[in-house]
Structures are given as C-alpha cells and as structure tokens.
Structure 1
Amino acid sequence: MIFFLGLQVRLDSSGILIHQSNVVDDILAKFKFDDCKAANTPMATRPVMTFDEDGTAVDHTLYRSMISSLIYLTASRPDIMFVGCQCARYQANPKLSHLHAVKRIFRYLKGRPRLGLWYNLVYFAYAQI
C-alpha cells in the first residue's frame, strides 16, 4: 500500500511513515502559495486571535475553503491541529486578521511540506499479543 485516502504510506525495516506531501503541494498551488516565503511556526505568539468585531470582512467562501483544506491535513499533521481549529472558530464571520493567520499556516506548510507521522516498528513488536 502506498496511497490510502490521500495519505501516503512508506514502510521500511525501521518503521512506517504516514504523510500527505502531495496534498500539501496541491493545496499550496490551489491557493497560490507555491512561491511564498516560508514561516518558521504555524502561529504567531501575539496577538491572540479574537473575534475582531471592527476588522475588515473577507470572502467567506475562500476562508472556509482554506480552513477545510487545513482540517483535511490534520490527519497526518498534528503540528497544525491547534492553530487550524483556532482559525476554524471564526468561519461564520472571518475578518482580515483571521485570514492573515490562515495564510501564515500556509507559509508554514510551504517550509515544511514533508512532515508526517512516524511509527517505530520496534515499539509495535512488543505490543503484539
């Protein structure tokens, strides 16, 4: 098995790697982030995200499409789970500050497209019954 529901699976003698690098590349191309500058972290430490009542409204469809792409990636990318869910809280009334936060996640993905879940087979050998 190499591909399963968008997940790429690589098995070798030391473990199993599950990643979605092809999906990351497709998402970055879809939203035109394939030539952007990479970010080191998926979320800025400050300012904390709020509802931003006075902010400029953005296109709901674009925002929701970006969020759904991020949530799909969380199957193999726990590093973006928290920030993706934080941004998903503002889907009903997204503002420009929320869109900037989502764009930062995409820039983070640009810098680290090949991350995934590693399962070491040594640990699973002891778990067999």
Structure 2
Amino acid sequence: MSIELFSPAPTAIRVFKVGEPNPKKVKQMIYGQATSDANGIAKIYFTDNGLADGNSLLQTIDYAVASVYSTNSTINARPRVQMREKNITKKYVSANVTNISGVTLLGVTVLGSENPVSGAIVDFMILGSLNS
C-alpha cells in the first residue's frame, strides 16, 4: 500500500490499492474547510490552485460529506449543515448551513423557519478517483 501526502490547498491524501503494482485507479481523499457566505452556502474548490479556474484534482467524485462545529448553547441557534452539490466539472462541492428560528409558545418553538448562517466554518471530506 502506498500513501502519499501532499498539500496544494486543500490538504489531500492519495491512497493506492493494496497488492497492485500499477493500479489503474487511484483514490484520493481531500479534506478542507470553507466558510459559509451570506446565503449560508459553503463551497470548497479542490483544484490545483484552490480557485474556480484551476484544474480539478479528481476525475470523479465518489463521496462527499460536510460537518459544522458549534458551541452555541441554544439548540435552535446551532448551525446545521447538509450537502448541496457535487459539481459536474468535479472542481468543488458545496453545502447549505442553516439554523432554525420561530415563535416560542408555552416553551415550544412553533412556526419555525430555516435561515442561512453566515460565517460558519464547514469541514469537508471528499473521496474521488484519479486515472493513472
């Protein structure tokens, strides 16, 4: 098994399949962080320059996951994250970051709505393939 760590931005780990001296496919795991914008969208570019105009580090996006960290003691104010898009050009993934607000009646929140959260840091983990 061969593991290669490099960091163009975002951090990436490349893993070769065990037992094959010349694997046809190489799996690459990319980790990175992005901050949500005013619309509650966090987007991470996994390109050679970390920007939209760069060359993708992946040939396919097999799996992507996002998580958000919060220390807010109010459960409704805590941000939550859900995957939004795996880009067809294989250059980025994005996620929506929201929280819930509503009217509290007798200690129960009713008529809740989801609102975008700006400035939340989102961790992304992407697994994809490279043709070698």
Higher strand share: 2
The structure, 1 or 2, with the larger RCO (C-alpha pairs under 8 Å, 6+ apart) is 1
Structure whose CA Rg is larger: 2
Higher helix share: 1
Same fold (TM over 0.5): no
- TM-score normalised to the size of structure 1? 0.31
- TM-score normalised to the size of structure 2? 0.30
